[in-house]
Structure 1
């Protein structure tokens, strides 16, 4: 027997959470929500110790953005994750643990609703046929793993990208998630033996990884040194009144402050950081893998962006859709091989972000909790119209 839903949301990270909240706000129900963990995604699992590049007030705005969220807040005894956010300076940044706890509180509240079905598993396959998505879940605990849904929203997240090093190599990989978590990073490198860590990139994540390594080098790991491989100058977010130049690509918060003070060309050499950090400048077309300096390193951290996580097997009347399907970053829809919209299929979050153009003409991908929310508040009403 097939269970029928108005919408299915795949993924319970911040974007999946915001999608479910907006669907319910548009009275789209019942909703099938699928995730193997329901623990607020990589934000909660890997980035709790990361300093935010978002002000506290925007996390609060996310929590209050839709009525289903506000209903959860009203029914959750204080103190809770939202009241703790309210106690912080709203114009300052905070650790992402505060945002992760807020997302987990909202998630726990939404799955208690009668119009939300929680499926702790993964979607193996989805086929559009007879006007709906026929879903096959990896559900070994239930006799029923067949579900039908008019809308299918992919909030499947992303993972750090990496480039395979030329073999053979003795260089040890430090996963970016570990490099961004000081309590894990300190045990990934020996305190007693010399270590030289290559950090690849000039992104927000790269700077935070360098900062975490520098903090170890100046405290518990005195034999630690850092080779920073970069091919582009540091870029900073610049407030412009009612908008922010390089809002999605520029450094913010602690990363921006520390980079200005220690990593710029005119500050690195005069900074204490120069005792521990050496910048390795790469040309535009030069790969770090070809640099002779890499052979001097014992470890490597790659902060070179994120790649979408694997998707379910997607078919349209049995015909395989492109992998991944072409995404429209303005509507959230997907297109088939002929450029036609795939009915009822949408994406959101870090894997499928909105494309935005600032007043200066810069085109960026809008990544961040409140940016996901702002996008979904705009497009979910349009998605829901297809159900009428």
Structure 2
């Protein structure tokens, strides 16, 4: 199953944005590097307050505030340091150009066995073939996207493209450089890492929302924390307020009743964007 280069998506976003800015100059207000700090609504108008004190008004607001790789809390970071296990940042392993060459450690632990985790393992072993990687995940083995008749099973959470091909090859050859350890939320991660004699670790366990926006509707706080669910089909957070992107992903149920989040700039995301915008426009306020 082939995947497209990320640069194609970036080029499409840039070209689409430039086209929109030129075509809708009378309807589009565009400002870069503007930080929104507060959203509030006490009727059918949302007030948008910026860090520099500007106040804008809109009937409908769509949040596309993005996310950052989830990192261990302060206690776990301190315990890793005490155990002499080096903590690597997600992007320093997932982005090949940022991975030190050659890596100054022998065994890498990867917590999280989805696409980013297996990409980290692949990048590390490509630079240091004599080293080894142990992937810690709640599943015993990686999950692969599966082509079905007109749709894809595990489209949002399964491995695809070069990462899937590499992982399958490693599994089929029983390469000792790559191993897997099934873990549960109750397990002590430091104990598991020590048992596997890991000397560096990277966490690839999803993303946290980056927005630090105070949101209220009818004087009640709108909870945007990761634990608070949103409507996975329309992105609705409150009347007149919707969210899209990695902070508010689409949740899709396939033909076999399996539900999963779908992220990434692919055709499904474009369709989801259209659905969210239509839901926002059609909503009666």
Mapped contact 1:155–1:348 kept (Cα < 8 A): yes
2:270 equivalent in structure 1: 373
Mapped contact 1:230–1:282 kept (Cα < 8 A): yes
Describe how 1:274-353 pairs up with structure 2 within 5 A: 274=176, 276-282=177-183, 285-291=186-192, 293=194, 296-324=197-225, 326-334=229-237, 342-353=238-249
- Note the C-alpha offset of 1:326: 4.5
Mapped contact 2:90–2:204 kept (Cα < 8 A): yes
Describe how 1:1-388 pairs up with structure 2 within 5 A: 92-112=2-22, 113-114=24-25, 115-120=27-32, 121-139=34-52, 145-164=54-73, 165=76, 167=79, 168-187=82-101, 189-190=103-104, 194-218=105-129, 224-232=131-139, 233-262=141-170, 264=171, 266-268=172-174, 271=175, 274=176, 276-282=177-183, 285-291=186-192, 293=194, 296-324=197-225, 326-334=229-237, 342-369=238-265, 370-386=267-283
Mapped contact 1:198–1:294 kept (Cα < 8 A): no
Deviation by residue 1:10-54 (Cα, 9 ceiling, x = unmatched): xxxxxxxxxxxxxxxxxxxxxxxxxxxxxxxxxxxxxxxxxxx8x
- Aligned residues between the structures: 273
- CA pair 292-105 structure 1, distance change in 2 beyond 3 A: closer
State how far apart, in whole Å, the 2-side matches of 1:383 and 1:281 are: 42
TM-score (norm 2): 0.85
- CA pair 295-252 structure 1, distance change in 2 beyond 3 A: closer
State the structure with bigger RCO (CA 8 A, min sep 6), 1 or 2: 2
State how far apart, in whole Å, the 2-side matches of 1:311 and 1:212 are: 33
State how far apart, in whole Å, the 2-side matches of 1:214 and 1:146 are: 51
Mapped contact 1:199–1:227 kept (Cα < 8 A): yes
| CA RMSD across the alignment | 2.5
Deviation by residue 1:209-246 (Cα, 9 ceiling, x = unmatched): 1000010013xxx5x43233234121111111111111
Deviation by residue 1:120-168 (Cα, 9 ceiling, x = unmatched): 21110011034201111123xxxx6111111111111122123342523
TM-score (norm 1): 0.64
State how far apart, in whole Å, the 2-side matches of 1:177 and 1:215 are: 16
- Note the C-alpha offset of 1:372: 2.0
State how far apart, in whole Å, the 2-side matches of 1:146 and 1:155 are: 19
State how far apart, in whole Å, the 2-side matches of 1:155 and 1:240 are: 31
Give the 4+ runs in structure 1 shifted more than 4 A. Answer: none
Consecutive unaligned residues in structure 1, runs of 5 or more: 1-52, 54-91, 335-341
